[in-house]
């Protein structure tokens, strides 16, 4: 609720609003369950505008309920939906959620074991597996077998039945009611194996959904580990002391030593250093910081000590906003409902109503025989049992997931298997996605008569004394060329500028364009050359001695060799637009954009800016994928229609937040994923048409008295087998994938 709305409510009621009631909800793992809670609680709290939900953290907030309901009433109402609620505590671990997930997993395993035991016992008593599969007449299954099947169904459906009853009370059929009706119908006509199978499949899908959401919740907590646990306060009475970042007030100064993470957002008060801002901005190279420059919590200080004046409390830091953006993006996401859930709202009551009509209307209106029409109603209920529908979709999804895993693509759920088929735009991060995320020497310019090998030898000899990423890139380049590095005497680092040292008896210096200007050795020709190289998005190391500039070495984050080809293949796969979103500077971003052939470049973006850019693309195009690898990409990954993380080198936060992870870091898996999703969606649609088509035919045969219970069961099992075999085709290689 906005502040304006809150003020208006206070004026109308003439009283202060009560404090929000916050609950942890066990079992709230998707948008369907949020809808159930809204329906149940809206009238109780005075309207659904007083309710807010955070699916990612399993949290519900009741703001200023007009009826001033107590927490006990809300907990009781939530219990009626089949979910459980308890007061929220910020310091509470997710032990309760873990316990609930463990219980669900245990019950699912028990359902599978007991169901298998029942089938084995039936096969043994009947004398063959075929007899156990074909037995359908009531009373034909031994009591012990029915008991095993019954206990298996109870174990798998214990979490489903309360939700199904809630759907009945609300007159809003959902997947829980669909499954319950299917199981009850199968039991009613003696198909205990069929009832157990449907229960098990549904229990497995719920367990996987709960597990996936649990991992996403833990990923948000991992984001916090980027920030250091302590801050070193200085200029305070009593001398320097270490405190928690939360205890630092705006205006206080902290000392950040070389190599440490910066604990809070602020500005440099004293010192010069280079800071690795990639965890927050995605900047591919360290950024030089001097007094007055802004720094962010969670970024890594370089070689110089910095005194930072805090400008934001820990809860308001850019890193804290990243954490909140991930949670809000997940909470605000509207995942596409499974087609079975939508279909069930019409299909389930229609089948039940039709079966009841078949049972009652002919005997009561046309004086038909009760026994005959009861039998036809049972046939209709059997053929109406959605087993083929329920089974075909999970098998299609599992097959698609398995095929994806073989190609190094980890997809985290069925809804994300289908989503790539509907994409119109792919947005991609630069560093670590379109580029390799590491520096490399891309150009060497010898000057004043120096040779390229000699220049590299001298620079690498000096740089081997530094741990700076640029230094490591130059040393690695020398090693790749097999160059022998001469010894260095009197090496000295010039903080924030460069370094000097004596190589083979002669003094050399190296540094940035700014350091060259300070030394007064720049010429117009060298200046123009440096400006051109910098405009191409390259970092340039200038090398010289007391007499002249010896040469220039250009360093850049290397573009992935397959990047340009992949961008072209993404377009060939039917994607309308490829956009690059990066926190890097405009010059570097434009250079990479030209090299890869993307349609649009947006640069110098903070995490919140990336989220805004993705939201704008979603508004304009509808379905958008975001591809990234860093903590700073996590909010945008969560907000996109489909989040794709570079898995091999990506951060835990990006991988856990994303819907798809490319475990091999191969960009060409993206167009493959689009084609694979389209094939999967085609097979699912084929299964739907076949399943419903056969049922329509048998409904017609039932009305004219040509269908029997046995043919209905055979048809239902046959269709189930057919759609399963069709779904398994996804496991085979295909020319389009």
Of the listed ranges 54-58, 555-559, 598-602, 695-699, the one predicted with least confidence: 54-58
The pLDDT score that the predictor gives to residue 544 is 92
Mean of pLDDT values over 346-371: 80
Strands (E), 457-583: 488-494, 498-503, 506-511, 539-544, 549-559, 577-581
* Residue 688: HSE in the Cβ half-sphere, 13 Å Cα cutoff: 14
Total-model pTM: 0.56
List pLDDT tens digits, range 73-83: 888 888 888 78
Q: Is 80 exposed, middle or buried (0-12, 13-18, 19+ CB in 10 A)?
A: middle
d(CA 520, CA 367): 111
pLDDT at 15: 42
Q: Residue 281 has what pLDDT?
A: 59
Query: What is the rounded distance in angstroms from the CA atom of residue 298 to the CA atom of residue 227?
Result: 5
418 pLDDT tier (thresholds 50, 70, 90): confident
Phi then psi for residue 678, to 5 deg, are -65, -40
Nearest to 426 by CA among 672, 591, 733: 672
pLDDT-based confidence at 302, cuts 50/70/90? confident
More confident residue, 161 or 389: 161
Asked if 223 and 323 touch (Cβ cutoff 8 Å), the reply is: yes
Residues 463, 475 contacting (CB under 8 angstroms): yes
Residue-wise pLDDT for 643-678, tens only, equals 898 765 555 555 666 788 776 667 888 999 999 999
User: What average pLDDT score do residues 443-462 get?
Assistant: 90
Q: In what order do the strands lie in the sheet with 488-494?
A: 435-446, 549-559, 539-544, 506-511, 498-503, 488-494
For residue 350, give every residue at least 6 positions away whose Cβ sits within 8 Å of its Cβ, in sequence order, or none: none
Q: What angle do CA 399, 326, 265 make, to 5 degrees?
A: 145
Pairing mode, if any, of strands 231-234 and 253-256?
Answer: antiparallel
The 8-class DSSP code of residue 431 comes to: I
Q: What is the band of 391 on the pLDDT scale with cuts at 50, 70, 90?
A: low
Tokens 């070193």 found at: 232
- Give the Cβ contact number of residue 562 at 10 Å: 14
Per-residue CA distances from 447 to 452, 525, 543, 553 (Å): 9, 11, 10, 11
Q: Is the pLDDT of residue 213 over 60?
A: no
**Cα-flanking dihedrals φ and ψ of residue 399, to 5°?**
-65, -45
For range 190-211, the mean pLDDT: 71
- Average pLDDT (10-34) is 62
Q: How many CA atoms lie within 13 A of 628 on its CB side?
A: 38
Distance of alpha carbon 418 from alpha carbon 682, whole angstroms: 10
Looking at 468-623, which runs of residues are DSSP E strands? 488-494, 498-503, 506-511, 539-544, 549-559, 577-581, 600-602
List CB contacts of 250: < 8 A, sequence separation 6 or more. 310, 311, 312, 313
Lowest mean pLDDT among 275-289, 306-320, 516-530: 275-289
* pLDDT tens column, 96-106: 556 666 777 88
Dihedral sign, CA of 507, 508, 512, 518? positive
What is the structure's pLDDT at 14? Answer: 41
Measured at the alpha carbon of residue 261, what is the angle toward residues 259 and 265, in degrees to the nearest 5?
140
309 pLDDT higher than 90: yes
Q: Tell me what the pLDDT averaged over the chain comes to.
A: 78
Q: What is the pLDDT of residue 1?
A: 34
Measured distance between the N- and C-terminal CA atoms of the chain, rounded to whole angstroms: 47
Residue 505 structure tokens: 């008896």
CB atoms near residue 244 (< 10 Å): 12
Residues assigned a catalytic role: 429
Predicted local confidence at residue 430, as pLDDT = 87
């Amino acid at each position: 609720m906005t502040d304006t709305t809150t003020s208006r409510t206070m004026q109308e009621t003439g009283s202060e609003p009560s404090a929000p009631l916050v609950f942890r909800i066990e079992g709230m793992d998707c948008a369907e369950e949020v809808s159930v809670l809204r329906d149940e609680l809206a009238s109780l709290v005075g309207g659904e505008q007083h309710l807010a939900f955070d699916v990612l953290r399993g949290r519900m907030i009741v703001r200023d309920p007009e009826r001033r309901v107590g927490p006990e009433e809300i907990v009781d109402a939530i219990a009626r939906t089949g979910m459980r609620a308890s007061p929220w505590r910020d310091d509470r671990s997710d032990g309760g959620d873990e316990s609930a997930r463990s219980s669900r997993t245990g019950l699912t395993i028990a359902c599978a074991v007991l169901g298998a035991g029942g089938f084995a016992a039936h096969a043994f008593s009947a004398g063959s597996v075929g007899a156990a599969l074909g037995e359908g007449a009531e009373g034909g299954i031994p009591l012990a077998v029915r008991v095993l099947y019954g206990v298996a169904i109870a174990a798998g459906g214990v979490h489903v039945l309360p939700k199904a009853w809630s759907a009945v009370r609300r007159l809003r059929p959902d997947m829980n009611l669909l499954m319950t009706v299917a199981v009850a119908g199968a039991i009613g006509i003696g198909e205990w194996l069929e009832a157990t199978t449907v229960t098990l499949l549904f229990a497995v899908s719920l367990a996987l959904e709960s597990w996936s959401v649990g991992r996403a919740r833990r990923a948000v907590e991992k984001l916090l580990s980027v920030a250091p646990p302590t801050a070193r306060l200085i200029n305070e009475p009593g001398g320097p002391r270490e405190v928690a970042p939360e205890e630092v007030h705006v205006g206080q100064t902290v000392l950040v030593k070389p190599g440490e993470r910066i604990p809070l957002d602020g500005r440099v008060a004293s010192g010069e250093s280079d800071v690795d801002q990639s965890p927050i901005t995605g900047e591919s190279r360290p950024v030089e910081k001097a007094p007055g420059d802004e720094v962010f919590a969670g970024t890594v200080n370089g070689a110089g000590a910095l005194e930072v004046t805090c400008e934001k409390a820990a809860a308001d830091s850019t890193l804290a906003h990243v954490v909140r953006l991930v949670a809000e993006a997940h909470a605000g996401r509207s995942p596409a409902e499974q087609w079975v859930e939508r279909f069930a709202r019409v299909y389930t009551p229609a089948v039940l109503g039709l079966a009841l009509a078949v049972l009652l209307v002919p005997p009561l209106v046309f004086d038909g025989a009760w026994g005959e029409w009861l039998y036809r109603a049972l046939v209709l209920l059997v053929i109406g049992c959605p087993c083929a529908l329920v089974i075909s979709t999970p098998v299609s999804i599992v097959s698609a997931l398995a095929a994806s895993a073989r190609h190094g693509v980890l997809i985290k759920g069925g809804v994300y298997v289908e989503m790539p088929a509907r994409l119109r735009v792919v947005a991609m991060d630069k560093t670590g996605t379109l580029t390799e995320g590491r520096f490399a020497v891309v150009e060497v310019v010898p000057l004043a008569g120096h040779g390229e090998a000699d220049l590299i030898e001298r620079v690498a000899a000096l740089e081997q004394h530094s741990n700076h990423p640029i230094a490591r890139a130059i040393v690695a380049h020398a090693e790749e060329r097999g160059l022998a590095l001469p010894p260095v005497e009197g090496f000295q680092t010039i903080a924030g500028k460069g370094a000097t040292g004596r190589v083979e008896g002669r003094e050399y210096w190296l540094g940035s364009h700014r350091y060259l200007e300070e030394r007064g050795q720049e010429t117009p020709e060298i200046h123009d050359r440096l400006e051109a190289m910098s405009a191409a998005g390259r970092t340039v190391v200038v090398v010289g001695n007391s007499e002249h500039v010896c040469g220039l070495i250009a360093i850049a984050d290397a573009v992935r060799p397959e990047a340009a080809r992949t961008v072209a293949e993404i377009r060939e796969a039917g994607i309308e637009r490829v956009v690059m979103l990066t926190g890097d500077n405009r010059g570097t971003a434009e250079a990479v954009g030209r090299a890869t052939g993307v349609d649009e470049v947006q640069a110098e973006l903070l995490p919140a800016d990336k989220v805004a850019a993705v939201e704008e693309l979603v508004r304009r195009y509808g379905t958008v994928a975001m591809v990234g690898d860093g903590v700073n990409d996590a909010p945008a990954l969560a907000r996109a229609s489909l989040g794709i993380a570079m898995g091999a080198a990506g951060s835990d936060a990006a991988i856990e937040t994303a819907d798809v992870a490319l475990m091999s870091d191969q960009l060409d898996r993206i167009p493959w994923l689009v084609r694979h999703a389209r094939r999967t969606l085609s097979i699912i649609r084929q299964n739907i048409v076949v399943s419903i088509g056969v049922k329509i035919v048998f409904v017609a045969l039932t009305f004219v008295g040509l269908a029997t219970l046995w043919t209905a069961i055979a048809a239902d099992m046959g269709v189930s087998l057919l759609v399963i075999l069709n779904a398994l085709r996804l496991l085979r290689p295909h020319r389009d994938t």
